Structures are given as structure tokens and as C-alpha cells.
Structure 1
Amino acid sequence: MAHCLAALSAASPSPGFDIFICENGGLPAFQALVQRVIQEEICRAAVEEARGEAAPDPFVAIRRLELVLRRSKVTIGCANENLGYAGGVNAWLRPLMGCEGWKGVWILNPDAEPAGDALGALVARAEAGGKGMVGSTILEAGSEEVVRFRGGLQWRKLSARSVAIGLGERLGAPVDLPAIERAMDSPSGASMYVTRRCVDQIGLMDESYFLFFEDLDWGVRAKKLGLGYASASVVAHRRGTTTGSAGRSAALSRLAVYLLHRNAIHFVRRHYPWTLPLRIIMSIAYAFRFVLNRAPRNGVAALEGMTAGIRGETGAPSWHRNPS
């Protein structure tokens, strides 16, 4: 998160923005984050900060800071439990819906490092194209030239899986903007700009996913309002550092594998129910692939997640909330 804040502090002066952070990792992680950004002189205490002020639900503590290098307020809230990705987004978006004066919200993963003009490009595409949601150019982890996403995701119904648009392309390669925007089913959750009009019409993120697929679900719901791609909005992303979902098959966390396969069932049942048998077959195939790649525990996690999805389980898994 500190790297993300440092990148935001170097952003272009316009458009202006304030920052709201939901710390899902508990009070020690919250205190460590506040201490780090102050010690590294990324943030300082806000002039109007009232220490000990009552924290709004669902937070148990908040700190009001400001960036050192620009006039942007930074409000960090410590969640009362791990709210998941959508829950963390909604924890601040919900009260903001009662405020006037903002045109859109830029949702960033804490391990994202946007270029200085990334937000300006997102806003420009939303306004010029009349788009409800706009995605960025997300770079592959550890690379400054290789693309992970151009805008976001496409859901392929006949294989019941998502694909990253532009995966593996060079950053400077020619871009067919109309084709990319036609293909998009959602911006990538690593960097997505959502207009106030869009949130007003489709509502908040769906917290029933807990982790994974909530951005795709939100994007599919927003397609009627237009999905856009701002190629000049470049965001580096340290993929998987917040969920343990990067790297070799055996290195994937049980939670990540479980929820990916559970929530895929949840997603197709809601949006493309006729493809549910295809999705079940896909999860079984992934389970076998885990076994072949010497990651049998994750093969079991894929089947367990698939089964939980068929049963209709949503939210944080009970074994994750109350680990034995």
C-alpha cells in the first residue's frame, strides 16, 4: 500500500482526488501502515485530524492523513473484520454515496502503482466516450513493457472462463480501441474508474463473492452503461501479493484456489446459467491439472470450491473465518 500511495503522491495535479483505504488485515496491520507512510514521509497527519474520533461502521479505528507532496486527503480505516475485496470497496463507497461533488471513483488494488497521468486518462475516456466504467493498461508483474490487461476481462461463454484482454502484448503495440471495448466484459479490478452515474444505476459491488469475480460481476452489470479502455492509463501491478495468487501451481493459496472455483459457479449461475455444466467441467479439468503439476492440495481445493459453489455458499468460507 505504501508504494501505491507514493505513486499517487506523484500524480498529475489534475484531476484532484482524495484517498480512502480499507485495511482488512486487523489493527496491527492498520497501525503498521499508518506508521510506515508517516515515517517514509509519504503522508503526514491532517490539520483537522481529531485523534480518538469515533470510527464509522464497519471500522474500529480511522486515521486522517494527507499526502506530503500534494493536496490530497488520505483516510485509512481499520475494518472490524476481513471484509473481502468488495466489502472493503463498499465500506467507503457506501458513505460516499451520500456526499455531493464527486464524478467518479477510482478503485485501485493496494499493490498497484499508477503512472502520473493514469487517472486523467481514465476520466478523459469516460467523459469523451460516455462510459460508465473504464479500465487501464495493467502491466505484467515485474515488467515495464509487457501487458497483463488492456482494459480488463472478457468472459468466454463456450469455455466458461475469463481471459485477460491483451495478455502478453508489448506496451507500445498498436491498439484497436473499438475492438477492445467490444470485447470487454469488465475492467480489471486492479484499476477501474467508475462514474457516479454508473454506481447510482447499478449499485455497489456484490459482497457475496468475498474475493474474486466481484469486478467481473460489476462490469457485466455495467455493460449497458458502456465499458471503456484508456490505453494511456498505465498501472504497474504486483499481481497476487495481496491474495497469494501469483506464481507456481503449488504456491497458490488454498483460499485463492477455493474461491476462484466457487465464485466461478456463483458468477455463471447468475449471468449465464446455461453454461453451468461447462463451468463444472472446467473446474474438474483444473483440479486434474493441479495434480499433474504436483499440487494435489490445490486440486482438492478446486473441487471443494466447485462443490461449495454448487451448494450456493457465498461470503467468507467458514474455515477461513474460523481457522482450526
Structure 2
Amino acid sequence: MIYIVVLNWNSDQDTVKCIKSLLNLKCINEFRIVICDNDSKVESFQKIENYLKMEHADKTISLNERDIDSFKVSNEKIILIKNNENYGYAGGNNIGLKLAMMQDGMQYAWVLNNDTEVDKDALTALVEKMLSDAHIGLCGSRLVEMETKYKVQALGGTINPWFCTTREIGSDLTITDIVNEEEWEEKIDFVVGASLFFSRFCLEKVGLLCEDYFLYYEEIDYCNRIKQNNLKIGIASKSIVFHEQGASTDKGKSKIADFCSIKNRVLISKKFYKSYTLFVRISLFGVAINRSFRKQFDRIPSILHLIIK
């Protein structure tokens, strides 16, 4: 059994589109969909709940976060969970992962952004990749731009330890290009968080997503922990996932998204790249200057605080 975890925060239209695409998946493995609502506005949660009641009432159950510890799935296909607060990316998804881990027969968990739509064979490709190498604990998809449905957004990402800045790679490819997965797996440092496919063994050995970041860098943290546990990260290039990047964060321009992207550079350097932390802090002076050029003066004090903290 595969549990597909999708996180919603005030973006019900995207979430409903994602659910519809997931229900069209063709896979010999059974799967269930777990929607975790991160304490959205009431109307956002209700729109998702109403859609499920109208279209899939016979196979849907709604739960509160407090109910999951004692919940055992029976015939439900879709589980909608109302989180008590906004726990961020990791915390919100971890609610769904915890529920999945408590269920008998759970083999894999797929954490999928709600601003995605999947090809009907995307899940099959992920399972096949996992079965090809028992050492793979986490696998990513071929992320394709939602707008073009043709141009690749990313096959994975790299991190520059000097500044702890990240870069998604693979954008020179198209949806039809043949990929040497082993070569690309040597190039990447992490799997992009829009599509994270975990084995149960990996979740049991490595643990859940780290909740220290709130937004951004969680997948880098997890991929580093995977390597520390002598497991591998993989790419399933035939798993096609269409992604509308940054739909819930104004494409990374919101103040909280901007702050997290800067703060977490320091946080991840202190955790995994300690010898570079000083350089990361110094580089934030450049970020502060950049924000002044943008006339985002209200963001500068928090950046300076990160430098001296």
C-alpha cells in the first residue's frame, strides 16, 4: 500500500486539481490519498471537504489532527486531515506521514506538492525505480513546468556549501529526453521537495522530515540524513510530475518565504556544513544590499540579525 500525502494551505483549487490527477493514476500497487490541511482559512478547507463529499463521499473520511493516533484505515481511499495549526512544510506533511506509518501494509509514502498534477504512470515509475535498487531510500520525479507541459523544471538540485545557496538542475531537458539516471544521481545533492517518494524502511531508519525550517531546505536536510544512514537518493525520470512552482508562496516573493529562504541557509550550514557557516553569514550582507536595491527595507533588520545571531 502506498500513501500519497498532499499538503494544503489556502490553495484549495490547486489541491482539488491535484486530487483529480491522482485519482487517474494507473498502478498495480494500491494507494490512498492523505490530504493534510495546514490550518487554512475555513473556506479553503471547506471547499476541499465539499468537493470530496460531492464527488467521493463513499470513499472519504475527514479527521482532526488529534484523531490520527488511534485511526486505522479500513476502506477509505481519501483521508482529509485538519491540522490544528500551520506547521510549515515538514510539520504539515509529517502529520500525514505519521498516519501512514501507523497503518499495516504501508510500503511507500509519496509527499507531493498540492500545486502539482501527475502523469497517470508517475507512481508506477517511482515504484519500479525503488525496486531496482534496495539501497534507494528516497526517490524524485521528473518535474515538468505546468505552463508548458514540456520543459523540464528539475531532475534534482545541488547546494553550494560556501553560501548554502541551492540550484535546481535539469532545466535544459524536455519531457521526452532520455535520461541516464545513474549519471544524474551522481550530479545531484538532493531531490526536489515537490515530489518525495520514501520507502518505509527509509522513514523508519532516517525518521520524518525535520521541522526546524518551516519552509525550504527540508529536502536537503533529509537527503543529507539519508546519506549519513548509508542509503541513496534516486531519480525516476519516467515519473512525470507537472509543477506550478511557488503557487502557495507567491513564487517565493512573500516576506515569510523570503525570510525562511535566508534563515535556513544559516541553519543548514550549522547542521551539515559547519566549516562554511562564517562564509554563509558574511554572504548575507550581499542579500541585505540586494533587498535595499529592491526597496524592501523592512526585511533588512531580520537579515542583519541572522548575521550576528
TM-score, scaled to structure 1 = 0.81
Report the 3-state secondary structure (helix = DSSP H, G, I; strand = E; otherwise coil) of the residue aligned with 2:31. Answer: coil
- The letter for the 2-side match of 1:44 is A
| Shift of residue 121, structure 1, vs aligned partner | 0.5
1:55 and 1:201 mapped to 2: Cα distance? 27
Contact 1:287/1:300 (8 A) holds in 2: no
- Is 2:51 the partner of 1:36? yes
Match of 1:57 in 2: 66
| Shift of residue 159, structure 1, vs aligned partner | 4.3
Could you give the per-residue CA deviations for residues 279-321 of structure 1, whole angstroms, max 9, x where no partner exists? 22333323333444xx221x6536625634863xxxxxxxxxx
Report the 3-state secondary structure (helix = DSSP H, G, I; strand = E; otherwise coil) of the residue aligned with 1:178. Answer: helix
Match of 1:285 in 2: 286
Residue of structure 2 aligned with 1:46, choices 34, 59, 69: 59
Match of 2:16 in 1: 2
Match of 1:184 in 2: 188
Match of 1:316 in 2: none
Contact 1:21/1:75 (8 A) holds in 2: yes
Segments of structure 1 that go 5 or more residues without pairing to the other structure are 247-251, 312-324
Q: Which has the higher contact order (CA 8 A, sep 6+)?
A: 2
Contact 2:145/2:242 (8 A) holds in 1: yes
Contact 1:262/1:307 (8 A) holds in 2: no
- Is 2:246 the partner of 1:240? yes
1:287 and 1:169 mapped to 2: Cα distance? 34
- Is 2:302 the partner of 1:301? no
| Shift of residue 44, structure 1, vs aligned partner | 2.6
1:58 and 1:306 mapped to 2: Cα distance? 42
Match of 2:266 in 1: 265
Q: Percent identity?
A: 26
What number of residue pairs does the alignment pair up? 288
Residue of structure 1 aligned with 2:142, choices 125, 137, 140: 137
Contact 1:284/1:303 (8 A) holds in 2: no
Q: CA distance change for structure 1 residues 5 and 302 in 2, over 3 Å: closer, same or farther?
A: farther
Q: CA distance change for structure 1 residues 6 and 209 in 2, over 3 Å: closer, same or farther?
A: same
Q: CA distance change for structure 1 residues 86 and 111 in 2, over 3 Å: closer, same or farther?
A: same
Q: CA distance change for structure 1 residues 306 and 237 in 2, over 3 Å: closer, same or farther?
A: farther
Q: CA distance change for structure 1 residues 83 and 176 in 2, over 3 Å: closer, same or farther?
A: same
Report the 3-state secondary structure (helix = DSSP H, G, I; strand = E; otherwise coil) of the residue aligned with 1:185. Answer: coil
Q: CA distance change for structure 1 residues 107 and 290 in 2, over 3 Å: closer, same or farther?
A: same
Match of 1:322 in 2: none
2:301 and 2:264 mapped to 1: Cα distance? 12
1:122 and 1:175 mapped to 2: Cα distance? 15
- The letter for the 1-side match of 2:166 is S
Could you give the per-residue CA deviations for residues 20-48 of structure 1, whole angstroms, max 9, x where no partner exists? 11111143321121113444x3x33438x
Report the 3-state secondary structure (helix = DSSP H, G, I; strand = E; otherwise coil) of the residue aligned with 1:173. Answer: coil
Contact 1:262/1:309 (8 A) holds in 2: no
RMSD: 2.6
Bigger shift: residues 136-145 or 233-242? 136-145
| Shift of residue 222, structure 1, vs aligned partner | 1.1
1:259 and 1:281 mapped to 2: Cα distance? 17
Match of 1:255 in 2: 256
- For residues 112-261 of structure 1, the aligned pairs below 5 Å read 112-130=116-134, 131-150=136-155, 152-223=156-227, 224-246=230-252, 252-261=253-262
Contact 1:134/1:229 (8 A) holds in 2: yes
Q: CA distance change for structure 1 residues 158 and 109 in 2, over 3 Å: closer, same or farther?
A: same
Q: CA distance change for structure 1 residues 174 and 290 in 2, over 3 Å: closer, same or farther?
A: farther
- Is 2:29 the partner of 1:15? yes
Contact 2:115/2:244 (8 A) holds in 1: yes
Q: CA distance change for structure 1 residues 179 and 156 in 2, over 3 Å: closer, same or farther?
A: farther
1:145 and 1:126 mapped to 2: Cα distance? 25
1:96 and 1:310 mapped to 2: Cα distance? 41
